[in-house]
Amino acid sequence: MDNGVTTGSLTGRPLFFCGIGGSGMLPLAQIADGLGHRVAGSDRSRDQGRSPEKFAWMEANGFALFPQDGSGVTSAEQILVASAAIEDTVPEVARARELGCARLSRAELLSQLFNAADFSIAVGGTSGKSTVTGMIAWILAEAGHDPTVMNGAVMKNFVSPANPFASARIGSAGVFVSEVDESDGSIALYRPTVGVLLNVSLDHKSIEELRVLFGNFVGKSGTAVINLDSQEAGYLLPRADAKVTFGLRAKSADISVEADSIDMSELGIRAAVVDNRRREVFPLILPMPGLHNLSNALAAIAAASAAGITVGHAVYALRSFAGLARRFDVIGTSPGGISLIDDFGHNPEKCAATLRTLKATPGRVIAFFQPHGYGPLRQMGEELARTFARELGLDDITIMCDPVYFGGTVDRSVGSERIVALINAAGGHAEHISLRADCADRIAALARAGDRIAVMGARDDTLTEFAQSILARLP
């Protein structure tokens, strides 16, 4: 198949998305549809009867959906949009090859739409991308700039009956905000007007590889917005032509906070935001808990400043930021006072941020963790184990099921039982229970008044339903 598809040659060509219901594909399909492309797709989750309400909504809104048997790929004019990891034996891929269809990865299509915008903001880094993307989108929307937004999580401010799956916002084609991914190297495809670098830490790639990817990203950005609290991000400052810096602790940052002004609660955080360039101070009231979210807010404020929006306006807009689904999302509290938190934490830094936020207030923590694949578990399992052992106390419990596995030839030799053993060896308290349903039984049996149960993991749309099912069983 030919991959030489340019932005101009996309015009009028129908797009077929393989895995159209995925957390990365669905918002991209929405954006492509909103920008005038004909969109169709298939998804094996639909074939298996999972998340039926999502696919019903898609069909009701004009997306043509097909079984994942190749029947939707019918013309050489179609462009197949599929993950680079999709195997050649998948029927859509095989059929597209027979017909000579062009093929684009998700990132290739997204970067073409993104780079065509007159003004673009890309958010990169190991952790916090989705939250910061949502914050920037809300600031821009409140300022009347009508951005098109690509996110990896549902942005609650943009949820409506017309768009219940608001991980995308369809706005002007000329203003584009997107999180960009380093895990597959695709961050190299983007040429942002403003590039935001949140942090650089171990996730899917080695630190050496990340330094190259993020360094090139900073170098390609018209203005780079860099977190000086992240030592690795700070090292890349010389790569930027123009820059705006931020940090909670870094005294030299352009956007910072008065250290003695930080007031945290279970519901949110207050702080005095300082624009050190103009020696101005603004009161921030952020309806999200955790120091990591205060850092995320500074990133969004700095990015908005680089886009020409005043710090005062950005700070005020964040007072009404509703947050993102599955980002420390408190989905309910049982009659007996047990809280259930649904969270996307899946790498060491994200998990640490969630666990620290939980431990900042009283109560035992029951942390359920579902690894998002065997490969990532092998890459960062030891650091994950150290994170859970370090951040949780003697009374807290980590329960881990087997990693998500949707088929294929991946090496499954390193599993959750090894990580649980490492947590226990480091002085933590962890249990390995293979099946997720059995984990729910164990959590329901353990839970008592005052506990906080965190359901953590990524790349599985059913985790929220799992969290809700546990909440329904709690006393």
Q: What is the pLDDT of residues 272-312, one digit of tens each?
A: 999 999 999 999 999 999 999 999 999 999 999 999 999 99
Q: Answer for the pair 298, 197: CB distance below 8 angstroms, yes or no.
A: no
Write the burial class of residue 26 (CB in 10 Å: 0-12 exposed, 13-18 middle, 19+ buried): buried
Average pLDDT of the segment spanning 198-205: 74
Nearest-angstrom CA–CA distance, 313 and 304:
9
Nearest-angstrom CA–CA distance, 36 and 51:
26
pLDDT computed for residue 184 by the predictor: 79
Query: CB atoms < 10 A from the CB of 118, how many?
Result: 10
pLDDT band at 407 (very low <50, low <70, confident <90, very high): low
| DSSP-assigned states of every residue in 156-187 | GGG-BTTBSS-SEE--EEEEEEEE--STTSGG
Q: What is the pLDDT of residues 98-146, one digit of tens each?
A: 999 999 999 999 999 999 999 999 999 988 999 999 999 999 999 999 9
Tokens linked to 41: 């797709």
pLDDT computed for residue 378 by the predictor: 85
Q: What is the pLDDT of residues 12-57, one digit of tens each?
A: 799 999 999 988 899 999 999 999 999 999 999 999 998 899 999 9
**pTM for the structure as a whole:** 0.87
DSSP code, position 72 = T
Q: What is the pLDDT of residues 47-72, one digit of tens each?
A: 999 889 999 999 999 999 999 999 99
Q: Which long-range contacts (CB under 8 A, 24 or more apart) does 275-279 make?
A: 275/305, 275/311, 278/311
